[in-house]
Chain A
Amino acid sequence: MIALLHSEWERLWKRKIAWVFLIAIPFIILATSKYYIGHNLVMPPGGPEHTTAENFPVMAMIEQLIVVFNVLVLVLLTLSFTEEYRSGQLRMIMLRSYSSTQLFWAKWIAFALLMALFFIIYLLFAVMAGYTFFKSSPQQILFYYDHTVPSGDMILYTLRYYGMAYTTVMGTASVFIAIGVISRSSTAAIGLGMGYLLCSLAFPLIYEMSNRVLGLGLPGVLKYLSLTEIQFSGIAVMLSNAKALQDLHLGLWMICILVVYAAVFMAAARLIFTKSDRWI
């Protein structure tokens, strides 16, 4: 299994997209820094949206998580699952003495490791950019926090934020893998994946608007059925120490949603990938 994982990792790593993204990380961070420098001009200190050296890594993740990371995940998984499978390239692997279940998990683990590496490198560049472009502050003001946080605690908060962001990306990845294994071409997989992302982005807006306009009185937490909404505001809510929010157990609710997404879509993807005949 380790050999299979090594083989998958090597192929993923040899793809141009992996290198392009790696090289792009400093430029993405630079562009994000530029955006927040401008943002700081209209956002005076004293609010959570004011960027400091310490909170920049979190702000940089908030800014790029939904678009850059989700799209990267979609492209990587489409190349790894759909393209290799539908073009017949994967036949070279499937003809060997490994089961398709082992192949499925090797692909998943190789992808998860690559994404973890990207997150770590992104964090390192964000920390460097934070101290290069922004003023340091002894106390940080965070979203959904009752009090300010000393810089030392900010390190832990940042790591937790990145950990949760990574978890949500893995949740989204489970949907993309299911899409990837049912799609008959890479174009279809990318199209369906983008369609899913747009629906996920639109759902909370439509839900809140209809709830308000039609006076449905449905619970607000249902907007977190959307994974992109968890990425947009949910992570900060999960990490909140505000008493009012903690009483609602929103963190638990969102974790449950992530687990259900991962379990349902991964199980479906694995079943389709391993049980069906491979007419490739």
Chain B
Amino acid sequence: MKVLEIEQITKKAGRRTLVGDMSFDIMQGDVCGFVGPNGAGKTTLIRMITGLIRPEEGKIRIEGFDVQRDRMKALGQVGAIVESPIFFPYMSGRENLLNLVKLHPNISKEKRAPRVDEVLRIVGLEGRGKDKVKTYSLGMKQRLGIAQALLGDPKLIILDEPANGLDPMGIRELRNLILELNERHGITFFVSSHLLDELQRICSRFVIIKEGRLVWQGTQEQWQLMAGSRSLEDHFVEMMTS
């Protein structure tokens, strides 16, 4: 079943095409790596998927709901971190989540606080929930970012460069968290990153873009078959430079 459908999406800034005629689907249960060099249009597409910016052409559907026409239903299925997770620094982690959980109509008033505690537990922040966000490390902010993305019990979580700035321990924690949420809760992930090695460890599928255009999409096995004896990194560099 398709969770995310990208259909001939085009976004321009003046004369420059940021994303051009891009189409692909993400299926339920996928952990999909979204790969491309800097400036390829990854964050621009993620912004369009999450309704922050509008495409000039094309359609984006989440669980069959059009993001432009049926925003409430479409975005109700998504949790996301776009670029870095920025919270309200004058509030604690738990207060931030309590503030955000109000915006999920599918969670009743009585269930809000238990849901917040549950997501804090899932991301391993239950002991630091009462501390102000400004005292959190980057890794903790990323985990809190995933916690806020989990609030509405989403079908799809979109993470934009989630490993940026994390140390190896933080990256490992994040990887384990993504895999656990995918396996135990059946959540579909769409993860953009530069770290190909890292994506290789968690992703079943890949979408590769260059200069705003789709270059290749398929499963990790298909990519490895295509790369042959070369590493995925070498093959990726080849695709980007050819």
Q: How far is it, in angstroms, between the C-alpha of A64 and the C-alpha of B175 when the chains are bound?
A: 56
A97–B103 CB distance below 8 A:
yes
A95–B52 CB distance below 8 A:
yes
Q: How far is it, in angstroms, between the C-alpha of A6 and the C-alpha of B104 when the chains are bound?
A: 12
Contact of B51 among A3, A14, A87, A94 (CB under 8 A): A94
Contact of A7 among B47, B87, B90, B99 (CB under 8 A): B99
Q: Does A4 reach chain B (CB closer than 8 Å)?
A: yes
Q: Does B232 reach chain A (CB closer than 8 Å)?
A: no
Which B residues from 65 to 85 make CB contacts under 8 A with A? Answer: 71-76, 78, 80, 82-85
Contact of B148 among A92, A278, A280 (CB under 8 A): A92
Q: Does A187 reach chain B (CB closer than 8 Å)?
A: no
Q: Chain A, interface size: which category?
A: 20 to 34
Q: How far is it, in angstroms, between the C-alpha of A11 and the C-alpha of B91 when the chains are bound?
A: 8
B52–A7 CB distance below 8 A:
no
Which A residues from 1 to 60 make CB contacts under 8 A with B? Answer: 3-4, 6-7, 10-11, 14-16
The interface size of chain B toward A, counting residues with CB under 8 Å, comes to 33
B103–A91 CB distance below 8 A:
no
Contacts of B74 in A (CB 8 A): 97
Which B residues from 22 to 50 make CB contacts under 8 A with A? Answer: 47, 50
Contacts of B52 in A (CB 8 A): 91, 94-95, 277-280
Q: Does A195 reach chain B (CB closer than 8 Å)?
A: no
Q: Does B115 reach chain A (CB closer than 8 Å)?
A: no
Q: Does B235 reach chain A (CB closer than 8 Å)?
A: no
Q: How far is it, in angstroms, between the C-alpha of A93 and the C-alpha of B47 when the chains are bound?
A: 14
A88-B90 contact given A3-B103, A3-B105, A94-B51, CB 8 Å threshold: no
Q: Does A96 reach chain B (CB closer than 8 Å)?
A: yes
Q: Does A89 reach chain B (CB closer than 8 Å)?
A: yes
Contacts of A16 in B (CB 8 A): 90
Contacts of A11 in B (CB 8 A): 88, 91, 99
Q: Does A98 reach chain B (CB closer than 8 Å)?
A: yes
Q: Does B126 reach chain A (CB closer than 8 Å)?
A: no
Q: How far is it, in angstroms, between the C-alpha of A86 and the C-alpha of B182 when the chains are bound?
A: 33
For B83, the closest partner residue in chain A by CB is A88
Q: Does A246 reach chain B (CB closer than 8 Å)?
A: no
Q: Does A99 reach chain B (CB closer than 8 Å)?
A: yes
A95-B78 contact given A14-B95, A277-B54, CB 8 Å threshold: yes
Chain B proximity of A110: nearest CB distance (Å) = 12
Q: How far is it, in angstroms, between the C-alpha of A239 and the C-alpha of B152 when the chains are bound?
A: 52
For B48, the closest partner residue in chain A by CB is A277
Chain B proximity of A103: nearest CB distance (Å) = 10
Contacts of B91 in A (CB 8 A): 11, 14
B47–A92 CB distance below 8 A:
no
B102–A95 CB distance below 8 A:
no
For B50, the closest partner residue in chain A by CB is A95
B53–A279 CB distance below 8 A:
yes
For B89, the closest partner residue in chain A by CB is A89
Contact of B71 among A3, A10, A92, A99 (CB under 8 A): A99
Chain B proximity of A89: nearest CB distance (Å) = 5
Contacts of B103 in A (CB 8 A): 3-4, 7, 93, 96-98
B90–A15 CB distance below 8 A:
yes
B100–A14 CB distance below 8 A:
no
B87–A91 CB distance below 8 A:
no
B53–A277 CB distance below 8 A:
yes
Q: How far is it, in angstroms, between the C-alpha of A97 and the C-alpha of B71 when the chains are bound?
A: 6
Q: How far is it, in angstroms, between the C-alpha of A93 and the C-alpha of B80 when the chains are bound?
A: 11
Q: Does B195 reach chain A (CB closer than 8 Å)?
A: no
Q: Does B215 reach chain A (CB closer than 8 Å)?
A: no
Q: Does B239 reach chain A (CB closer than 8 Å)?
A: no
Q: How far is it, in angstroms, between the C-alpha of A88 and the C-alpha of B53 when the chains are bound?
A: 14
Q: How far is it, in angstroms, between the C-alpha of A89 and the C-alpha of B85 when the chains are bound?
A: 8
Q: How far is it, in angstroms, between the C-alpha of A34 and the C-alpha of B152 when the chains are bound?
A: 54
B71–A95 CB distance below 8 A:
no
Given A88-B84, A95-B82, 13 more contacts at CB 8 Å?
Answer: A3-B103, A3-B105, A6-B102, A7-B99, A16-B90, A89-B87, A89-B88, A92-B100, A94-B52, A95-B50, A95-B52, A95-B78, A97-B73
- A sample of 14 cross-chain residue pairs with beta-carbon separation below 8 angstroms, ordered by A number, consists of A6-B102, A14-B90, A92-B88, A92-B96, A96-B152, A97-B73, A97-B74, A97-B76, A97-B105, A99-B71, A277-B47, A277-B53, A278-B47, A280-B52
Chain A interface (Cβ within 8 Å of chain B)? 3-4, 6-7, 10-11, 14-16, 84, 87-89, 91-99, 277-280
Chain B interface (Cβ within 8 Å of chain A)? 47, 50-54, 71-76, 78, 80, 82-88, 90-91, 95-96, 99-100, 102-105, 148, 152
Instruction: List 4 A-B pairs, minimum CB-CB distance, nearest first.
Output: A277-B53, A97-B72, A88-B86, A97-B75
